[in-house]
Amino acid sequence: MTMSRPYRNLLFFLGLLIFSSCQSTAQINKVIQQTLGTPNNSEIATGLKEALEKGTGVSTERLSAVDGYFKNPDVKILFPEEAKNVEKTLRSIGLGSVCDQAIESLNKAAEEAAKEAKPIFTAAIKQMTLQDVRGILLGENDAATQYFARTTSQELTKKFSPIINSSLQKVNATNYWSDVMTQYNKIPLVKPVNTDLTAYVTQKAIDGLFVEIAKEEYKIRELVTERTSPLLLKVFSYAEREKEARKKDNTGL
């Protein structure tokens, strides 16, 4: 009986998982090259775009889930820098719950907006040229994240801003923030603080997306087990070999 392709792939991945647990990256890449060969330009483009679709999809789903920002310490939205003294002062006089409500509402607004991010990333991936693809694949470990920051920040801001503005009102963030600032500005001799809440949360929400995308980019570049198809194995193994060869050329070793 002829073994089906999915079954062959499964056996290959299981074998690679066992092999990778006790071998160096160079040895793993050598085996992958011998087994799968060197990718052509079409495979490189398809493989990288597959990885980016996966990474941006996981990131946006993670952040748009309930408490996606709020319970993620890497991206949780806190008081703006110019309002740190506001928070500190209010907590010191027993108004910590007002601060907590304001912070939670800011993060809920960001989570609502994150639901709209995936199509923007997908469009950026589709418009990549071969030069973009090779530059990302063989570039720095955050090259894809940098690409998205350059090509999607403006569109994300345009898309997020009205959603966050609406969401801030829906989750009562505007009221909570108003309460915070009203309480603070009543304190004698303090300097009044006025923050553009929508602009602040929009920027922090976008920053959080890039933080999560960078995490996914790191995984696919550094962990063989994250390359969940033969094409991804082939493309990223090739990238590692190319980078290693360039490093040797530059050092003369």
Residues 31 and 48 in one domain: no
Domain that holds residue 232: 41-239
Residues 6+ apart with CB under 8 A from 39: 47, 231, 234, 235, 238
Number of domains observed in the structure of the chain: 2
To the nearest 10 degrees (0 to 180), the angle between helices 41-64 and 130-137 is 70
pTM, 2 dp:
0.81
pLDDT at 6: 47
**Residue 192 located in a structural domain:** yes
Residues 132, 137, 141, 147, Cα dihedral to 10°: 20
- C-alpha distances out from residue 15 to 22, 73, 215, Å: 12, 36, 26
- Return d(Cα 166, Cα 178) in angstroms, integer: 16
- Return d(Cα 235, Cα 54) in angstroms, integer: 15
Answer whether 145's CB lies under 8 Å from 213's CB: yes
pLDDT at 199: 87
pLDDT at 252: 54
pLDDT at 5: 52
**Residue 248 located in a structural domain:** no
Residues 160 and 189 in one domain: yes
Can you list the alpha helix ranges (DSSP code H) found in the chain? Answer: 5-20, 25-36, 41-64, 84-92, 96-114, 118-126, 130-137, 143-170, 173-185, 197-222, 230-251
**Residue 244 located in a structural domain:** no
**Residue 145 located in a structural domain:** yes
pLDDT at 107: 94
Burial class of residue 172 in the structure, from the number of CB atoms within 10 Å of its CB (0-12 exposed, 13-18 middle, 19+ buried): middle
- Return d(Cα 14, Cα 225) in angstroms, integer: 10
pLDDT at 133: 96
Residues 69 and 31 in one domain: no
- Return d(Cα 110, Cα 63) in angstroms, integer: 8
**Residue 216 located in a structural domain:** yes
Residues 54 and 152 in one domain: yes
Residues 66 and 18 in one domain: no
Residues 135 and 183 in one domain: yes
Residues 150 and 55 in one domain: yes
Residues 19 and 96 in one domain: no
Residues 27 and 103 in one domain: no
pLDDT at 154: 96
Residues 95 and 6 in one domain: no
Q: Which amino acid is at 63?
A: L
**Residue 97 located in a structural domain:** yes
pLDDT at 29: 63
| Token pair of 164 as six digits | 């966050």
Residues 116 and 216 in one domain: yes
**Residue 249 located in a structural domain:** no
pLDDT at 69: 98
Per-residue pLDDT of the chain (253 residues; tens, 9 = 90+): 454 554 455 445 545 554 555 455 666 666 666 677 789 999 999 999 999 999 999 999 999 999 999 999 999 999 888 778 778 888 888 888 888 988 998 999 999 999 999 999 999 999 999 999 999 999 999 999 999 999 999 999 999 999 998 888 876 667 777 777 777 667 776 666 656 788 889 999 999 999 999 999 999 999 888 888 889 988 998 998 888 888 777 765 5
The structure tokens 């929508």 sit at 198
Residues 67 and 129 in one domain: yes
